Amino acid sequence: MPLTFDEELRYSRHLILPGMGLAGQERLKKARVLLVGAGGLGSPVALYLAAAGVGTLGIADDDVVDVSNLQRQVLHRTEDVGRSKVASAVDALQARNPLLQLQPLPTRISSENALEIITGYDIVVDGTDNFPTRYLLNDACALQGKPLVFGSIFRFEGQATVFDARRGPCYRCIFPQPPPPGSVPTCAEGGVLGVLPGLLGMIQATETMKLLLQIGDPLIGRLLLVDALDMRFREIAISKDPACPLCGDSPTLTKLIDYQGFCGLGPRTAEETEWEISAEALRACLPSVRLIDVREEWELDEHPALPGARHIPYASFSRRMAELDSADELVLYCSAGIRSWHAVGLLRNAGFTRARSLHGGLAAYKPVREE
């Protein structure tokens, strides 16, 4: 696929790089990369791969742009709020480089479609922020023998590596089991420094280009840890686990599974749907209910507890729930309603039939101001 005159002009700074030249740029032109997630990590990855001349870029995301995204998701603009993230990304990338081929996939990657979608690409870049999709992409890429460029962020820290089960460990080699549901706060609950996904996303874009160009030393078998506050980079050696059920010596995982169930996030039963209370209903019940704040100590510094609430952090909740009275009507809350819901599950199993969780957490609860 020879370069056109316009492409030679646009990528001229690449063409004079030692070890790259025309052959390297032509390799990028025929490359096919799938980016899963057009958010914080996906934004810089997409922008830089598009600008660099990666010929075909698939973008998968089923979300829409929210105003809270704009602090870090630099693909999107204020006027894109409410639009599909994929549609917004396509417009931004076409404006950046009209010479590439974009394949919009406004859908959620699932066990039903992952293998079919991934088949058409050389490399997959993980720009997601949840454990079920991380395990799903890892398993799908390992089963198809494709490299997965991984990144994750939280507050002021991030991680990056390349998982390639043919040459090194996979995600399951390091994290055989997901953390308990609700034990790891999301970015919506714990926050994230706006520039951090830009930093990690550029590392992911760099690793992707190195793999496509077959140059340098990719982060296979190495986990890069980034501390943005101290601006320190540390590296941890990671090895393939011979007992890994996916890529070990005797693999037992040979097909995709139910990843929501694997991560403890399966569909709720009819009884479990009754464990929650809306913000409106809670306001109507106050002050007759007892409020329990299950957030961590540092979260209280950023957003104080509701008036009258008792603080029992989720991390120690199973040990301290005996301090509560099962006869009381309890409403538990956290930042987004995930940890409190699981804490209510512990209480319900212990006979606390009047315990409920605030649906949506503090993010959904806005106290009525007194005139």
Fold classification of 272-364 is Oxidized Rhodanese; domain 1 (3.40.250)
**pLDDT value at residue 298:** 81
| Per-residue pLDDT at 369 | 43
Return the pLDDT at 297: 86
Q: Helix, strand or coil for residue 281?
A: helix
Distance CA 90, CA 257 (A): 31
What are the tens digits of pLDDT across the range 202-238?
Answer: 999 999 999 999 999 999 999 999 999 999 999 999 9
Please determine, looking at this structure, whether the domain spanning 31-262 carries the CATH number 3.90.1150.10.
no
Q: Where are the domains of the chain?
A: 31-262, 272-364
Confirm whether 31-262 and 272-364 share one CATH topology. no
Residue 331 near residue 289, CB atoms below 8 Å: yes
Residue 370 is predicted with a pLDDT of 37
Is omega for the bond preceding 287 within 30 degrees of 0, making it cis? yes
pLDDT at 360: 85
The residues annotated with a catalytic role in the active site are: 187, 334
> 150: part of which helix (H) or strand (E)?
strand 148-154
Calculate what percentage of the chain has a pLDDT beyond 90.
Answer: 75
User: CA 357 → CA 174, 209, 290, distances in Å?
Assistant: 33, 46, 12
**Phi and psi of 215, rounded to 5°?**
-130, 160
Below-50 pLDDT ranges, the chain = 368-371
SS3 state of residue 306:
coil
The structure's pTM equals: 0.79
Q: Please tell me the predicted confidence (pLDDT) of residue 367.
A: 56
